[in-house]
Structure 1
Amino acid sequence: MFLMGESLVNNFISLGADEPEEINGNHKESAIASSCSQQSNISSLLAETRDDNVNTTERLNQGFMQYGCSHYRRRCQIRASCCNEIFYCCHCHNEAKNNIIIEGKLRHDLPRHEVQQVICSLCGTEQEQVGQVCVNCGVYMGKYFCKTCIFYDDDTSRSQYHCNGCGICRIGGHEIFFHCYKCGCCYSVHLKNSHPCVEGAMHPDCLVCFDYLFESRNDITVMPCGHTIHTNCLKEMRQHLQYAYPICSKYVCDICPRCRRSLRWKLPQHQCLNHITIKRFGFCAMTVEQPQKFSFMWWLRNA
């Protein structure tokens, strides 16, 4: 009898000892299942986030390079504070409001820093605050955006950058330009230690077309004398036999000493020391039959 009771007790103890193992096994299985569920939830959240990012990117880039004017590609228009009319950019406004067909007293320009109202080109929403993204449809109104200049541009291949010295945006990349504080504008780094400084060289109007050089979008040439002029205007001067800058009367190209001494006299055709065939027609007129080189000139362009 004692042996049988001892055997039953031992069996009961052994059965009781097996129960925690079963319970621990159940906990492990539930923990594994919970971990798999969490991983599945994380994966689904990541997938949803990726989808949201894709949708956000698509929404931001909607209409990219499809809107704009002849000056800039942008997905917004500006309301001019001076006349309350809508234009794509300040240049569009100035061309429309400051030309010879407008009565003199009504002609005016729009300073770019005075723009305060912007209208989305996709949804037509007028923005309460100037920003890069439309508050209604959520698109980029310009891939490049400068809050200081209120400047938008989708064409970022021009490497726009804001120059604090100039106070406006330039193109070409800040790596290859530097700001000369005496001349008052950005020049190519090739001119950093070689250009003659002329105070405010970029701030007068072009002497040929009378366009304001500092904010002009046309190519500008820095001449050996330090003065500036539109590149196309310089070519036009050459076509009209003008080879000296009107302000300082310095030559804008290489001319040999013999030619310089004889510029004011009517001389027969001869061969210049620089291998350029020229003719004298009295005073300062000169015809160049072979193209001259302007290797020491550099050009820059504004945004």
Structure 2
Amino acid sequence: MAEAEVAAGCEHYRRGCLLKAPCCSKLYVCRLCHDSQEDHQMDRFKVNEVQCAKCKKVQQAQRNCENCSVVFGEYYCSICHLFDKDKKQYHCEKCGICRIGPKEDFFHCSKCNLCLPLSLQGNHKCIENVSRQDCPICLEDIHTSRVGAHVLPCGHLLHRTCYEDMLKEGYRCPLCMHSALDMTRYWRQLDNEVAETPMPTEYQNMTVEILCNDCSARSTVQFHILGMKCRNCESYNTTQDGGCRISLEQQ
């Protein structure tokens, strides 16, 4: 029998059973549907019973129906009670939940307390328990989210979809203002624009103190309406950190 004929469906999952919520004994396709309808949250780890979508038999949580043998999920985790299509999932004991794999493409960073792509092993800035913080864009949980996390160069995390939306409006981490991607090419373009846009005479000897959001260095530079470049790392991701002053000789 085709999966669609026996599968219970929601916007989050397609599976062959309904979960019996241990908190209120109501049947839901998944914990997310439960949490959106009830005034409390379902503890996925305490789920003991499911109802078969085909024969309606309520039974102990397991991969196959004990009555009609329908498969509840190609992937089943007896710890998280996750039933799903095969997406190369694996259960990470250190994360405490299931992750989408394949497992061999990921490693668990003990300091960040999160599974990350192998490409980031030894190549990312660690922040202790960073995944236990909410996404600063949508303010929703990152660690248990079905949406993948994106690691910024500063080490902070955003949901991947939130990161993509952020880039439509700006390039800075919303927490620390560090550049969220490699801006070197854009900085060089800005160099040319600054060179080709001389300031009016009354501003040509004006200097300002700036703080670099990327390297934290402080500099005194010539004021320019298009941007002020850090003298330490050459980033234009800077903010004015003092008043303007007119120097006797051009900086």
Aligned residues: 205
Q: CA deviation at 1:262?
A: 8.9
Matches within 5 A, 1:1-303: 62-66=1-5, 67=7, 68-97=9-38, 107-127=39-59, 129-153=60-84, 155-156=85-86, 158-241=87-170, 243-246=172-175, 248-255=176-183, 256=187, 267-269=224-226
Q: Which amino acid letter does the alignment assign opposite residue 63 of structure 2?
A: Q
Q: CA deviation at 1:65?
A: 4.5
Question: When you count helix as a share of all residues, which structure comes out higher?
Answer: 1
Q: CA deviation at 1:195?
A: 1.2
- Structure 1 unaligned residues grouped into runs of 5+: 1-61, 98-106, 273-277, 284-303
Aligned-pair Cα RMSD in Å: 3.3
Q: Which amino acid letter does the alignment assign opposite residue 162 of structure 1?
A: H
Q: CA deviation at 1:241?
A: 3.3
Using CA pairs below 8 Å that are at least 6 residues apart, which structure has the higher relative contact order? 1
Q: Distance in 2 between matches of 1:194 and 1:263?
A: 23
Q: CA deviation at 1:268?
A: 3.8
CA contact (8 A) 2:137 2:174 kept: no
Q: Which amino acid letter does the alignment assign opposite residue 64 of structure 1?
A: E
Larger Rg: 1
Question: When you count strand as a share of all residues, which structure comes out higher?
Answer: 2
Q: Distance in 2 between matches of 1:94 and 1:87?
A: 10
Determine helix, strand or coil for the equivalent of 2:15.
coil
Q: CA deviation at 1:124?
A: 0.4
Q: CA deviation at 1:177?
A: 0.6
Spell out, residue by residue over 1:86-134, the C-alpha distance to the aligned partner (whole angstroms, 9 max, x if none): 110111112223xxxxxxxxx322121121110000000000x221111
CA contact (8 A) 1:77 1:118 kept: yes
Determine helix, strand or coil for the equivalent of 1:175.
helix
Q: Distance in 1 between matches of 2:2 and 2:117?
A: 34
Partner of 1:286: none
Q: CA deviation at 1:252?
A: 1.0
Spell out, residue by residue over 1:8-54, the C-alpha distance to the aligned partner (whole angstroms, 9 max, x if none): xxxxxxxxxxxxxxxxxxxxxxxxxxxxxxxxxxxxxxxxxxxxxxx
Determine helix, strand or coil for the equivalent of 1:95.
helix
TM-score (ref. length: structure 1): 0.60
Q: Which amino acid letter does the alignment assign opposite residue 134 of structure 1?
A: C
